[in-house]
Chain A
Amino acid sequence: EDAERINSADVAVVEERRRLLDEWLAWREAVEEELAEEREILGLPADLVGELLKAKTAQIAPDQEEVTVE
């Protein structure tokens, strides 16, 4: 009987965590979507820092094409 009680407590904990995880992921999805929309309205690139770094590289070495080293 004890074992059963412990077991059902565990199940409740796990179910609560599952609920929290689902809730979190749903919230993140909504926020990311909204952010992408707002960014688009403002005409900002998705990878803002990537664009800034590209501009910096171009400024340092204006005549060189981007070279990918593999």
Chain B
Amino acid sequence: MRPILLSGHERALTQVKYNRDGDLIFSVSKDQQICVWYAHNGERLGTYHGHQGAIWTVDVDPTSTIIASGSADNTIRLWDIKTGKCLKTWEFPTAVKRVEFNEDGTKLLGVTEKRMGHLGTIVVLDIIVDVDAEQSDEKAMTIVCDESKATVAGWSYLSKYIIAGHEDGSISQYDAKTGEQILNYPIHELDNAITDIQWSQDRTYFITASKDKNAKLITAKDLEVLKTYVSDTPLNSAIITPKKEYVVLGGGQAAMDVTRTSARQGKFEARFYHKIFEDEIGRVRGHFGPLNTVAAEPNGKGYASGGEDGYVRVHQFDKGYFDFMYEVERERANRIGVTA
């Protein structure tokens, strides 16, 4: 599993995303750059210029027509993937920490930062997935997080719910049409921020990552915790891999927190767990700093990780990965006549 190294960013990566086909990778960083790369060879196709601050987040619509980005410059921007042109800028009172398109790309949510005089919010924008269309200036909805600010959020299956992870370690479920909070559960340890939420392919369940060193698999419908993956380092990101029943966790102690320990103990590895059995089954080394973000290739062929070290590492899974099965999985596969 020799990775492709994407070097082009000059500072820490904040988010990495594949497009639906898995042929493009979008990366954003504190260096104010948005880059797009060919996933198969790591060649950089281009960059998107305009943001005036660290970029925290990026997402791509399901048809790979436009991307959205959110930044410390208090804007969400929409970009034409092909030409690199900025199509629209929305301004907010504070930084934008997370953006995500819904299933059909007609809505975009943005998580805004809490700051003196401003509560954290989740805003919803109506989007027309067409580079020639005039996008609306108005927000379709604003959810105010008055208890604990949202750190991450996303859209469930059928755009029915907005799910948010909060700074206090809780998870909320909102009605995506009205913005009304339906559920809020303290799922991770109190005041251990939820750092990531990523979906299963059909968006009926998701995985969280938290500073409390755990990742959890949770249902979108009733926020039931299905599985817990226990690690030994604060987590920044987690993915559910398509095709195989694994999850991959990324994290690591930030440099300033490990002054009295060596870099070796920073634990800068991607950790693989069996999704159903919750066992850790392997680790992948490579980064020289914490993994800030991991992304799953949508066809299950690999994953990419973005580090505090400024690199993106793109991994293609090898045969051993696909062949590996637990005895009970093999037994079932044999019974139903499917081979790995």
Contacts and interface: CB of A to CB of B under 8 A. Distances in A.
Given A14-B327, A35-B202, A20 B277 contact: yes
A17 B63 contact: no
A17 B326 contact: yes
Contacts of A53: 63
Interface residues of B, number: 26
B328 A21 contact: yes
A52 B104 contact: yes
A3 interface: no
Contacts, number: 49
Nearest to A24: B276
Interface residues of A, number: 20
Given A52-B63, A53-B63, A17 B277 contact: yes
B177 to A, nearest CB: 12
Contact of B276 (A20, A35, A49, A52): A20
Interface in B66-123: 103-105
Interface of B is mostly: loop
Nearest to B204: A31
A21 B276 contact: yes
A38 B220 CA distance: 14
Contacts of A59: 130
Contact of B158 (A21, A24, A39, A52): A39
Nearest to A39: B158
B105 A52 contact: yes
A2 B340 CA distance: 35
Interface of B: 20, 62-63, 65, 103-105, 129-130, 157-158, 202, 204-205, 219, 221, 226, 245, 276-277, 326-329, 331-332
